[in-house]
Chains A and B, each alone.
Chain A
Amino acid sequence: MDMRRAKIVKNVSVTIGAWLVALLIFFPIFWMVLTSLKTELNAFSTPPSLFFMPTLENYLVVFERSDYLKYFWNSVVISFGSSIIGMLIAVPGAYAMAFYPTARTKDLLLWMLSTKMLPPVGVLVPIYLLFRDTHLLDSKIGLVIIFTLINLPIIIWMVYTYFREVPKDILEAVRMDGAHVWGEIRHVLLPISLGGLSSTFLLSLILSWNEAFWSLNLTTSSAAPLTALIASYSSPEGLFWAKLSAASTLAVAPILIFGWISQKQLVRGLTFGAVK
C-alpha cells in the first residue's frame, strides 16, 4: 500500500518536474514566435502582452523584402548536400576504425578532432583567397565542401562511438555463419546502428544549417543561406523586435520541424536493448 502510494507520488512528481523543465527550456522559442505575431510597438512595450490581436504583418514584410524561398532552398541544398557527402565519407572510415582498430586508431581520431581547432577567423583570408582563385565564392558547391570538411571529424567521432557500442558477439556470430563482410554490414551492422547514424546525420544537418561565419563570408547572393537572411534583420534602425522574431522564426522553422519529425528515429538512437 505504502509502496504503491510512494510510486504514485514519484510518478506524479516526475511528470510535473519533467514538464516544468521542458516548458522552461522551450520558453524562449515560444516567446520568439509570440513576438513575431505582435506589432513593433507592442513587442517593445512593457508590461509584455500575452493576449493581443495577432498580426501576420511582420511575416509579410519579410517575404516582401527578401526572397525567402531562395535562402531556404540554398540552406536545404547546402546542409543536406554536405551531410550526405560527409556521411558517405565518414561511415566507412568509422567502420574500419571501430572494427579493425590498430595501435594508432586513438591518435588518428584525436588528430581528426584537432583539425577543428583552428578558429575560423584566423583562416578566413587564406580560404577566401583559395575560393576566389577557384571560382567557388558565392557557390553552393563551395559551401558544401567547407561544411563537409568542418563537420567530418564530428561525424566520424559520433559514428565511431555508435559502432563501438555494437555488441561484438553479434558480429562474430554472423561471421561464424560465414557471412561475407558486406552481408555482415548490411544485414546486421546497419540495422542495429540506424538510429545512431540518423542522429549523427541530423546533428551534421543542424550544424550546417546554423553555421553563420563561413556562410556569411563566402556567399554574396546566389548561394546565400538563411543565416544571411538573419544578418539583414539583426539590428536595423528603429523598432525591429517583431520583424526580427518573424525572420528568426522563418529561419529556424524548417530545421525545427524536420527535427521534430525525425525525433522518434533520433531518440531510438542507441537503443540496442531490443537486439540484446
Chain B
Amino acid sequence: MSQINTNASVAKILVAPSVILLALWMIVPLAMTIYFSTLNFNLMIPGGRDFIGFENFYWFLTDPSFITGIINTLVLVGAVLIITVGLGTLIAVLVDNPFPGRGLVRVLLISPFFIMPTVNALIWKNLLMHPVSGLFAWLFRQVGLEPIDWFTDLPMTSIVIIVSWQWLPFAILILMTALQSMDQEQLEAARMDGAGPISTFWHITLPHLARPLVVVIMIETIFLLSVFAEIFTTTSGGPGTQTTNLAYLIYTQALLQFDVGMASAGGLIAVVLANVVAVFLIRAVGKSLAEQ
C-alpha cells in the first residue's frame, strides 16, 4: 500500500518539471497574446495602445480570405497526411524484407527529413519545378509534353508535394522501426494457414502499426497545421489566396503591417481551430491510445 503511494508521489515529482515548464511556456505567451489581442497595438505607430475589446477579432474573422485560409489549412494537412501515411506504410513494408543494400536504401529514404524546410522549398521551386529552367520542365519537353507551370496552375498540389517530400521520411522512419518489432512467429503462422500477403498485411501488420501510426499522425498534424516557410518561400500564399493557410494569413494580415493586436487575435483563433482539429483527430485515432 505504502509502496504504491511512494511510487505515485515519485511519479508526480518526475512529471513536475515538464508540466511546470510547459505550463509556463503556455500561460505566459498566451496571457500576453490574450492581452495584446484586445489592444489597438501596431508596432509601426508608437504611443496610444487603447483597449478596443474584440475589434481585432472582428476584423480578422470578417477578412475575406479567412474561410479560404481555413479550407487551405485543412486541405494541406489532410493531403499530406494521406500521402505520407499511405506511401510511408507501403514503403516501410517494402523495405522490411531483407535485400542487398537495405542499409543504404534506408539512409536514402530518410534523408529528406534532415533538410531545412527553407532549403527544401528553394530546391523544389528553383532547381526542379521552375517552368523554364527547371529539371521537370526539361523532362516534360523531352517526352514531348507541355511543361507544367507548377506554382501557377497547380499551386496547392506543388506545396503538398514539397511538404510531403519533407514528411514522408518521418512516417517511413517511425513505421520501419515499428515493423521490426513484429512477431515473426505470428507472421509465419499466418503464412502457414495460407493467408495471402494482403490479408496478412490487413490483419497482422496494420494492427501492429496502430500506435506508431497514431504518433505519426499526431506529430505531423501539429507541424502541418502551421506550415509557413514552404509557402513563404515558394508561392507567398498565391496566386490569389490559393495557398494561403492560417499561419500565412496571420503573417500577411498582421505581421506585414506589424499589427500586434491583429496578429494576437489571429493566433488565438488559430489555437482554437487547431484544438478543434486535434479533438476530432483524437476521436478518430486516439482510441487505440487508450486501449493499449
- List chain A positions with a Cβ less than 8 A from chain B: 11, 14-15, 17-19, 21-23, 25-26, 28-29, 31-32, 35, 43-48, 89-90, 92-93, 95-97, 99-100, 102, 106, 108, 110, 112-127, 129-130, 148-149, 152-154, 156-158, 161, 164-165, 181, 195, 199, 206, 209-210, 212-213, 226-227, 230-231, 234, 241, 244-245, 248, 251-252, 255-256, 259-260, 263-264, 266-273
Contacts and interface: CB of A to CB of B under 8 A. Distances in A.
Given A117-B222, A263-B107, A122 B113 contact: no
Q: Range of interface residues on chain B?
A: 35 or more
A213 B228 contact: yes
Interface in B11-29: 11-12, 14-19, 21-22, 25-26, 28-29
A18 B111 CA distance: 15
A15 B98 CA distance: 9
A122 B18 contact: no
Contacts of B18: 89-90, 93, 112, 152, 156
A248 B113 CA distance: 14
B171 to A, nearest CB: 12
B14 A95 contact: yes
Contacts of A153: 22
A210 B115 contact: yes
B69 to A, nearest CB: 11
Interface of B: 7-8, 10-12, 14-19, 21-22, 25-26, 28-30, 32-33, 36, 43, 91, 94-95, 97, 99-120, 122-124, 126-128, 132-133, 135, 137-138, 165, 168-169, 173, 176-178, 180-182, 184, 211-212, 215, 218-219, 222, 225-226, 228-229, 233, 246-247, 250-251, 254-255, 260, 263-264, 266-268, 270-271, 274-275, 278, 282, 286, 289-290, 292
Given A125-B263, A199-B177, A46 B112 contact: no
B54 to A, nearest CB: 16
Chain B contact residues, majority secondary structure: helix
A271 B17 contact: no
A130 B181 CA distance: 46
A75 to B, nearest CB: 10
Contacts of B111: 25-26, 29, 256, 259-260
B24 to A, nearest CB: 8
Contacts of A268: 177, 180
Given A28-B127, A234-B122, A245-B127, 19 more contacts: A29-B112, A45-B133, A96-B12, A99-B11, A106-B289, A106-B290, A114-B275, A115-B25, A117-B274, A119-B228, A122-B263, A125-B264, A152-B25, A156-B18, A165-B181, A210-B116, A252-B115, A263-B107, A266-B173
Contact of B118 (A116, A230, A256, A271): A230
Contacts of A14: 94, 97, 99
Contacts of B177: 195, 199, 266-271
B267 A119 contact: yes
A78 to B, nearest CB: 14
Contacts of A112: 18-19, 22
A19 B36 contact: no
Contacts of A44: 133
B127 A31 contact: yes
Contacts of B260: 125
- Lowest 7 A-B CB distances belong to which pairs? A122-B267, A269-B177, A96-B11, A126-B32, A117-B274, A93-B18, A100-B11
A106 B99 CA distance: 40
Chain A contact residues, majority secondary structure: helix
Contact of B267 (A15, A108, A118, A251): A118
B251 to A, nearest CB: 5
Contacts of A32: 119, 123, 127
A174 to B, nearest CB: 15
A236 to B, nearest CB: 12
A256 B275 CA distance: 33
A80 B100 CA distance: 34
- Which among B16, B18, B250 has the greatest number of chain A C-beta atoms within 10 A? B18
A260 B180 CA distance: 19
Contacts of A154: 219, 222
Contacts of A123: 29, 32-33, 264, 267
Contacts of A89: 17-18, 21
A115 B229 contact: no
Given A14-B97, A234-B233, A121 B250 contact: yes
A264 B116 CA distance: 22
Contacts of A130: 28, 32
Given A122-B264, A154-B219, A212-B118, A46 B133 contact: yes
A125 B211 CA distance: 37
B106 A263 contact: yes
Contacts of B138: 46-48
Contacts of B114: 206, 209-210, 252, 255-256, 259
A196 to B, nearest CB: 8
